[in-house]
Amino acid sequence: MKYTITTPLYYVNDKPHLGSSYTTIACDAIARFQRLKGNTVLFLTGVDEHGQKIERTAASKKLQPQLHCDEITRKYKYLWDKLNISYDRFVRTTSKEHTSLVHQFYSKVLKSDDIYMGRQSGWYCVGCEEYKDVDKNDKAPICSIHKKELEWRDEENLFFKLSKYQDQIEKLIQIDGFISPKSRKNEIINFVSKGLRDFSISRVNLRWGIDVPGNEDHTFYVWFDALLGYLSGSLSYQDSPELTNNSLTNWPANLHVIGKDILRFHAVYWPAMLLSAGMKPPISVFGHGFLTREGQKMGKSLGNVLDPIQLLEYGGIDAMRWYLLRDIEFGDDGDFQMRRFVDIVNSDLSNTIGNLLNRTITMSKKWFNNSIPIDNSSVVESPLKDLSELKINEYMESFMKNNFKNSANSIIDLANSANHYLNEQAPWKLIKDVSNKDIVARDIYSVLESCRIIAILLNPFVPNLSIRILNQLNIDSTLITFEKSLNWGLLNPSNGLNNPTPVMNKLEFNEDLFYE
């Protein structure tokens, strides 16, 4: 089966932050999960590079807009590489391929008679790149998001007939699973119920954007341009971008993952645009929450911004990925707490999983000729077998609902049970009597088999750690899939075991780290 997942196209007014890292890690986990299920995955990420905000930011740095975009884009790609993000395509809205696609899409919408010239006046937020519903008589309104004064605009724009698609959008947003989580769905239903209004898709006197064919003073509104990045990134042949239903690979998108603040654009405007062009809307849209730090909103004025690069340098990729997916309920707002970060990583990855693997391999190598013990009875007799099957099912059900926290809990439950089983059986005592060697073989085999399954379940969360565990068990990580690798009893006793080394180093707590 084909599966397409997208991150937002991140706005390049500034370098990537912890929030964008969180979104991208979550999408990467889903993409890896789908690949392990055997699906053909197209994982898109990228950057949104046009608009007045970019133009002004570049000017403040005395740079041409393209140079500013190039600089910030490099930072995104660098961070995604550091986070081991397995994206298939990186979209840039300044690329010639994207520009060509925008023009082709516009032509399709024109043929549907969904574009007209109109006039728009009102209070505008450059940071949000949108008009705000405030009293036109208010002389100095403030954007509730950016805390900056709005600007009065009165200009001629091209408009898209969003109102024409009222009935179709009402039906679409009611489809079970189209908008998640449910709280976000209710927000959109409420918004649409008030009646959809046509929205402007062009701006005048703004050069940093894609030109509108036949309207030389207009460039496309940044949202009309950016949303089309999901299509330009999905073209089967990137070097000859011809927009047809057959030229797209893995479309429609199975899942758009975005912040809750841009849900309306993705769940209402975007599907209507696609319907106008004769194309299929996405299958689902997931609006996640925001991150705070130690209970406070992160901001430069507060000096509490958490730089993801610094966090990576301190804790490492596995710690960062595990904490964000393990501790924060995906879909809700989350709070990053440094003490909790250190405690969870040390408890889960270093102590519970790392120590379990290390001590069991050590015993197996010592008592069974540097290898995995032979024990055919473990397939049917080990109590860990039934538990592993239960936890695998829990893990799968939760992950399919994007409930990473519950999936992670299932992994830790299995690891805790394996530790408890090992402590109860106490093979270091049993081995003193040679007649107990078969029992010890069963116990060691069972725990090592649990470690193997744990490593596979960890792969979407912390692929690097997963590979390190499998390497110590002498297993080729490139061959694993959920279908072939999660059955009990697949450890090969003829395999030698590699020397046990800590798969996760402990972190030291430092509350003064990473304040900007």
Which of the pair, 513 or 253, is modelled with greater confidence? Answer: 253
* Interhelix angle 65-82/18-36, nearest 10 degrees: 50
Scanning the structure block, which residue is given the tokens 């341009």? 225
* Interhelix angle 437-458/383-400, nearest 10 degrees: 10
pLDDT in tens, 428-458: 999 999 999 999 999 999 999 999 999 999 9
Q: So what's the pLDDT on residue 206?
A: 87
Residue type, 121: S
Q: Report which listed range, 18-22, 117-121, 161-165, is most confident.
A: 161-165
Which of the pair, 466 or 122, is modelled with greater confidence? Answer: 466
Q: Is the pLDDT of residue 94 over 90?
A: yes
The DSSP H or E segment spanning 234 is none
Q: So what's the pLDDT on residue 237?
A: 74
Distances from the Cα of 403 to the Cα of 181, 390, 407, 496, angstroms: 11, 17, 7, 37
Mean pLDDT of all residues in 156-183: 96
In this prediction, residue 515 has a pLDDT band, given cuts at 50, 70 and 90, of: low
In this prediction, residue 311 has a pLDDT band, given cuts at 50, 70 and 90, of: very high
* Spatial CB neighbours of 498, under 8 Å, sequence gap ≥ 6: 361, 471, 472, 473, 474
Contact call for residues 85 and 321 (beta carbons, < 8 A)? no
In this prediction, residue 302 has a pLDDT band, given cuts at 50, 70 and 90, of: low
Rounded Cα distance between 480 and 151, Å, is 55
* Spatial CB neighbours of 113, under 8 Å, sequence gap ≥ 6: 161
User: What tokens appear for 140 in the block?
Assistant: 């100095």
pLDDT in tens, 206-234: 889 999 999 989 999 989 999 999 999 99
Q: What is the pTM for the complete model shown? A: 0.93
Rounded Cα distance between 431 and 437, Å, is 6
Q: Is the pLDDT of residue 70 over 90?
A: yes
Q: So what's the pLDDT on residue 299?
A: 64
Rounded Cα distance between 239 and 194, Å, is 43
Q: Is the pLDDT of residue 504 over 60?
A: yes
In this prediction, residue 137 has a pLDDT band, given cuts at 50, 70 and 90, of: low
Domains observed in the chain: 2-289 (3.40.50.620), 311-485 (1.10.730.10)
In this prediction, residue 242 has a pLDDT band, given cuts at 50, 70 and 90, of: confident
User: What tokens appear for 184 in the block?
Assistant: 């976000």
Scanning the structure block, which residue is given the tokens 């120590």? 355
User: What tokens appear for 442 in the block?
Assistant: 């069963």
Rounded Cα distance between 338 and 12, Å, is 27
Mean pLDDT of all residues in 164-184: 96
Q: So what's the pLDDT on residue 284?
A: 97
* C-alpha of 203 from chain center: 31
* Interhelix angle 308-315/338-345, nearest 10 degrees: 40
pLDDT in tens, 3-55: 999 999 999 988 999 999 999 999 999 999 999 999 999 999 999 999 888 99
Find residue 10's DSSP bridge partners. Answer: 47
Q: So what's the pLDDT on residue 136?
A: 62
Contact call for residues 500 and 357 (beta carbons, < 8 A)? yes
Q: So what's the pLDDT on residue 354?
A: 97
Rounded Cα distance between 210 and 50, Å, is 8
Q: So what's the pLDDT on residue 240?
A: 64
